[in-house]
Amino acid sequence: MRDIAVFSGTAHPDLAAEICAHLGVPLHPVRVSRFANDCLEVQLQANCRERDVFLIQPLVPPVQEHLVELLLMIDAARGASAGRITVVLPHYAYARSDKKDAPRISIGARLVADLLTSAGADRVLAMTLHSPQVHGFFSVPVDHLHALRELATHFRRYDLSNTVVVSPDLGNAKEAAAFARLLGTPVAAGAKQRFSDDLVKISAVIGDVTDRDVIVLDDEIAKGSTVVELMEHLRGLKVRSIRLACTHGLFSGDALQRLSDQGGVLEIVCTNTVPIPAAKRVPKLRVLSVAPALAEATRRIHNGESVSALFA
């Protein structure tokens, strides 16, 4: 088996360092420089020849900057004769652009997948893609992990005898149902219609939530508009308490503080797939680590073992 070499871009070096700590391998340095004309240059500062190279880079703001940086890292590894190049994408931001729901718009999820493979990626390791069809946009193998186990372990600390898991929309209902099975609770879902990036309308909540403790589960929270709209309905249905859970805690602008200030919210739980600045954090926030899961998947990919066995 080829030797392993792990590199990180500038998007989330703390997560990359934690993954390497679990693997027991060094995180090799990467030099990112900028020319006078604003173009980037990337140099991988460790030998890649015939090695199993893993490049860790979530696509987080500034997304376009980090995407180009990742493409250059892939190209540098390919030019250095890497044996195999695996892109570790804890967060694939363009996954939300997965369909043509208006005239003459781009499908960014497919385009970025093509860019990654054209640059030289041989494999992708992703975490909680926004929709299942994004997996099929890649022409190389994709190992798709989710963070339901980590989230379930956290919530099992509580009394769940009167708890229901609620999905903000029907598109995430399958994931919410799987999460509810892990917790042994019923599941409900919101009937949502989106009019723009920050304007949504939930007409009803399908399922019994009255006088229940609610865990709202979504794949990501950015502005929080959907969750705020859902919580208005939940409070109208007289729920006892609300806990928010997601894999990708993007929390753009003042979203985290706004969610924390909502009535009935006891806790906001996310994972560390994306970095959350200390200045944004609130007392109700709990951040769980997915580094052990990503490290184990990386080890299995390197050793040629089953990654799907992680979900057994």
Q: Which amino acid is at 230?
A: L
Could you list the active site residues?
192
User: How many Cβ atoms from other residues are within 10 Å of residue 37's Cβ?
Assistant: 5
In a structure prediction context, what are the per-residue pLDDT tens digits for the chain, which is 312 residues long?
A: 469 999 999 999 999 999 999 999 999 999 999 999 999 999 999 999 999 999 999 999 999 999 999 999 999 999 999 999 999 999 999 999 888 878 999 999 999 999 999 999 999 999 999 888 899 999 999 999 999 999 999 999 999 999 999 999 888 889 999 999 999 999 999 887 766 666 677 778 899 999 999 999 999 999 998 899 899 999 999 999 999 999 999 999 999 999 999 999 999 999 999 999 999 999 999 999 999 999 999 999 999 999 988 876
Distance CA 282, CA 257 (A): 7
> Which helix (DSSP H) or strand (DSSP E) does residue 307 occupy?
none
CATH number attached to the domain at 4-145: 3.40.50.2020
Cis peptide preceding 62, ω within 30 of 0:
yes
Residue 136's Cβ-side half-sphere holds a number of Cα atoms within 13 Å equal to 5
Q: What does the pLDDT read at residue 217? A: 97
Domains 4-145 and 148-288 equal at CATH topology level: yes
272 DSSP 8-state letter: B
Q: What does the pLDDT read at residue 290? A: 98
- Quote the Cα angle for 276-279-280, to 5°: 55
Q: What does the pLDDT read at residue 191? A: 80
Encode 264-289: b = buried (16+ Cβ within 10 Å), e = exposed: ebebbbbbbbbbeeeebbeebbeebb
241 alpha carbon, distance to own chain's centre: 26
> Which residues have a Cβ under 8 Å from the Cβ of 172 and sit 6 or more positions away?
189, 217, 218, 219
Domain boundaries, the chain: 4-145, 148-288
Residue 76: burial class (beta carbons within 10 Å; 0-12, 13-18, 19+): buried
β-strand partners of 43? 31
CATH number for the 148-288 domain, one of 3.40.462.40, 3.40.50.2020, 3.30.420.40, 3.30.390.10? 3.40.50.2020
- Of 64, 65, 63, 66, nearest to 55 by C-alpha is 66
Is the whole model's pTM more than 0.85, yes or no?
Answer: yes
Distance CA 286, CA 278 (A): 12
